[in-house]
Amino acid sequence: MEAGALRRGAALLLAAAYVLLVARASMLWLLENSALKPLGYTWLRYMRNELMAALAAAVLAFLILRHLEAGGEAVLCAVVPVNELRRAKSRLAGMLSPQERERLVLAMLEDVLSALRNSGVLPVLVSPEDLRGRVEGEFEMLVERQSGGLRQAVRLGNEHAVELGAKATLFLPADVPLLRRRHVREMLRMGRRYRVVVAPSLKGGISALLRSPPEVIPEVFSDRTFAEVRRVAAELGVELGVYDSFYLALDIDTPEDVREFMYHGEGTRTYRVLAEMVGDYEIVARR
């Protein structure tokens, strides 16, 4: 059943519960009126089952709405490309060993998946490696036969999302550990007005791209992705909204990014992993 039909059903249940509760209020008024009290008792006798039905309808409507809020039906997918772990984050080689960089990538990915949990969005991970069992959380796993770069990974994830029935897709990098559920929900709200919502990164790229429908604009990735996305959307006549958030814009690629993250990332899995790996390194000492 579609989410819209479930919402309409919940609204009807709430309306029915409201009508029956009004009837109950009328019955109580009759009981308080001495002249009409016999009529009130008669009404009570016949309305008892209806009042129980009103309570049941209200509870069922609440459960339906909670189900939709928790993303019980995936109508939107988040495409999250993950690079080959042994090659990831090479610019951090002077700070972290290959094993530590791999651990960092998985920690950041878990923070991203945590933000997507209960948001109504189904994560689709695209990677040359099967990450099932490596990270916690529920997600679709799409293993690339051959790594073809970011654009191909996003295209493959987008196509897979469409096959799953997604009406929209949200591209998210795996290295934005400051992402929170509220950021996802705010972008989805913007998506009700704009067919494309883009979040800029601090380096000229993008940290998120919401497309509704998923093929509304093609995949565009370069050193100036943010500007390119705006250009392509304008050329195609697609209205675009910009979601500007520092927390979403900060990805981790360099030691400077790590240092900046440590000022803001306390409470995340990535922070705990970095603090454990770097120990009393200056990026922690300078907080």
Task: Answer positive or negative: Cα dihedral of 224, 251, 191, 138.
Answer: positive
Please tell me the predicted confidence (pLDDT) of residue 287.
Answer: 45
Whether residue 213 has a cis bond before it, omega within 30° of 0: yes
Query: Which residues, at least 6 apart from 127, have a Cβ–Cβ distance to it below 8 Å?
Result: 81, 82, 83, 84, 141, 142, 143, 144, 153
pLDDT classification of 203: cutoffs 50, 70, 90: confident
Task: Say if residue 65's pLDDT is above 80.
Answer: no
Lowest mean pLDDT among 92-96, 143-147, 208-212, 268-272: 143-147
Average pLDDT over residues 92-120: 93
pTM greater than 0.75 (yes/no): no
pLDDT of residue 264: 92
Tokens (6 digits) for 25: 């209020």
How far apart, in Å, are the Cα atoms of 73 and each of 70, 127, 212?
Answer: 9, 24, 17
> What would the mean pLDDT of 211-215 be, rounded to a whole number?
95
Q: Between residues 40 and 256, which one has the greater pLDDT?
A: 256
Integer Cα distance of 219 and 158 in angstroms = 9
Of 112, 69, 23, 107, residue with least CA distance to 275: 107
Tell me, what DSSP letter sits at residue 96?
S
Nearest Cα residue to 135 out of 158, 163, 93, 106: 106
pLDDT of residue 190: 95
Higher pLDDT, residue 245 or 24: 245
Give the alpha-carbon dihedral of 241, 239, 175, 281, to 10 degrees.
Answer: -40
Confidence band (pLDDT; 50, 70, 90) for 145? confident
Distance (Å) of CA 70 to CA 3, 33, 123, 262: 12, 46, 14, 30
